[in-house]
Structure formats: structure tokens, C-alpha cells
Amino acid sequence: MAKPIVVVGSINLDLVAATKRIPTAGETVAGLSFQTFPGGKGANQAVAAARLDGLVRMIGKVGADAFGEELLHRLQESNVDTSAVEMVRGSSGVALITTDEKGQNAITVVPGANAKLTPADLDSNIDLVRSAGILLTQLEIPLETVEYLATIAAQQRIPLILDPAPARFLPPSLLKRVDWLTPNETETSLLLGHGPQNLSDHEVEEAAIALFQLGSQNVILKLGDRGCYVALSNEAPQWLPAYDVKAVDTTAAGDAFNGAFAVALMNGREPLESAAWASAVAAISVTRPGAQPSMPTPSEVDRFLEDSHCFKSTRV
């Protein structure tokens, strides 16, 4: 039987205000519209993979509030197996998101039920974790749960993709157990002990080497409309430019990338080819509003690639 992609991560309701410009501290701006979408980095990656026909099972928690049932339903609608998603007392995770007219965003996440996903929950679902062909996780659940998952993954020799988002410093003991580390620019800077900063191409290349030195096996640096930098343990690193699309909402572009990357690896594709396909999936996602609703199907990806989209030349 085919092994599942198992996602251990967060499930949020996204409350999204569209504005012309994201306000600075102390400022009030008029919103253009308000919408709610199912989100959360874990759930987004699960939905991205399932929409692409991956066999996906999720371990997570929602609250017993007005949002919990709806969030579960939206996962199931996308063919994510939610038998290991528990409904617990208290509120569901929520994300307050402001987007601007360039498609950029600022996000505040209130973890709610996601904070209650403990290592004991991995023990309760140990057969599911061990059955995985690949494991995906992120940092919107307690770090100790991510660390325990990494320990199990290493013991069982199951590839682990860690999206180190939201940005924070991580112990080398965790990074050593990660097969695929996929930070964006801010996450890269914080992992390396710097404040958030814009990285030049040269600094990106140096950062990938530094992340290898901290222990991660393979590194994919996700750089928005500059594309990504793929540094594998056994091949020369390579830049993959982003597709030239009109971004409407970049929320969950990184999640689209990770979900698609996992599906491609599970389908036996080579890592570089998988990252290139994931870039197309992520590019489509930024042309659509919302997190989970923006994830494409395989036929939409085929059509996008047939339409011979150009690459952006935004490297710096």
C-alpha cells in the first residue's frame, strides 16, 4: 500500500483584511475588504499536497468553538484524512492577516488549540507517524513536539521536511535531524542568529552553507518573487527563478511549495525537478486570494506549465 504524507502542524482560521498599504505601528488604515479563509501552515501544506493527489494524513488540533468544525470540514473536503485531528476545549488557532495591493502580507498568529499539540499526541498516533513516507512540519505548534517528531523521524529513517516558520532560532540538535529545511529570507536570518534582513544573492549562497554547517541535510531557501535556492547535500547548489505572475496574495506561497515538493518526492521525482514543480505550484497560489483556496490541482499546474510562463529576473 502507498505510504502517506503525514503533516504534523497547525490549523488556523485566517481573518484577512485587504488594504492598499499595511499600517505601521500606531497607524490606522482603511480596509478594502474582509474575508475569512481556512489556513494554518500545517493545514495549508496538507491541503496543497492533497489537492495535488497526494495521500495525506494530518495530526493536529482544533478548538471546540465556532471555527473548529468548519476547519475540519475544509480539510476533509480537500481529501485530507483528519482521523488524527482532535477537537479540544478552548479556541481554534486564528491568524489576523493584512494584505496590501502588491500581494504582500503581515500576520499575527494566536495559536489556540495548536499550542496543545504535545509529544504525547505523537505517542498516541505513533503507528501513523511511523507509517509515513515523508513527514512535514512547521513551527506553529510547540517546539518540543517538533523536536520529538524529528527524533522519531531520524530513528525510523523517514524524511522530514521542516518549514522553520514563523521565524525563530532553532537548536542544532533539531537541525541535524532535518532532511529538508525550507526557510524564507527572514527565517534564514534568524536561524543564523541575525535580525531580519534582506539577503543579496551572495549572502543567500553563504547562508545555505552556514545552514549546512548547523546540521541540516538539504536546504531550500524560499525567496518570494526571486524564486528559491536549492542546496543539496550531494549536488551543486542551484537557483530556480520564480515564475512571472501577477501576485494577488502571497499568503501560503511557502506552504504551497512545501506541499507540492513533498508530493513530487513521493512520486519519485528528483529533488531539483521537485523544487521546480513546487515553484510552479507556489506561483499559481500567489495569483489567488486566501491560503487553502489558492492551492491548485494537477491539471491546473499542467495548464500553467503548458502556457510557457516566463521567469522573473529579480535576483539581487
Rounded-to-integer distance, Cα 138 and Cα 111, Å: 13
Cell of 288: 489567488
Indicate the residue among 192 and 242 with the shorter CB distance to ligand ATP: 242
Indicate the residue among 56 and 220 with the shorter CB distance to ligand ATP: 220
Say if residues 106 and 96 touch (Cβ distance below 8 Å).
no
With CB cut-offs between 5 and 8 Å by kind, which of ligand ATP, ligand RIB, none does residue 247 bind?
ligand ATP
Rounded-to-integer distance, Cα 67 and Cα 85, Å: 14
CB of 70 to ligand ATP, least distance (A): 21
- Using DSSP's 3-state secondary structure scheme, residue 78 falls into coil
Indicate the residue among 125 and 251 with the shorter CB distance to ligand ATP: 251
Establish if 112 lies at the interface with ligand RIB (CB under 6 A): no
Cross-sheet strand order for the sheet of 134-137: 80-88, 56-63, 5-8, 134-137, 160-162, 180-181, 218-222, 228-231, 238-240
Establish if 14 lies at the interface with ligand RIB (CB under 6 A): yes
Establish if 54 lies at the interface with ligand RIB (CB under 6 A): no
| Number of residues engaging ligand RIB in binding (CB under 6 A) | 15
Strand partners, 184: 222
One-letter amino acid identity for 77?
Answer: E
Say if residues 167 and 196 touch (Cβ distance below 8 Å).
yes
Q: Is 307 a catalytic residue?
A: no
Q: Which residue is nearest to ligand RIB (CB)?
A: 39
Establish if 255 lies at the interface with ligand ATP (CB under 6 A): yes
- Binding to ligand ATP in span 157-176, by CB under 6 A: 165
Binding site for ligand RIB (CB under 6 A): 12, 14, 39-41, 44, 95, 107, 109, 140, 251-252, 254-255, 291
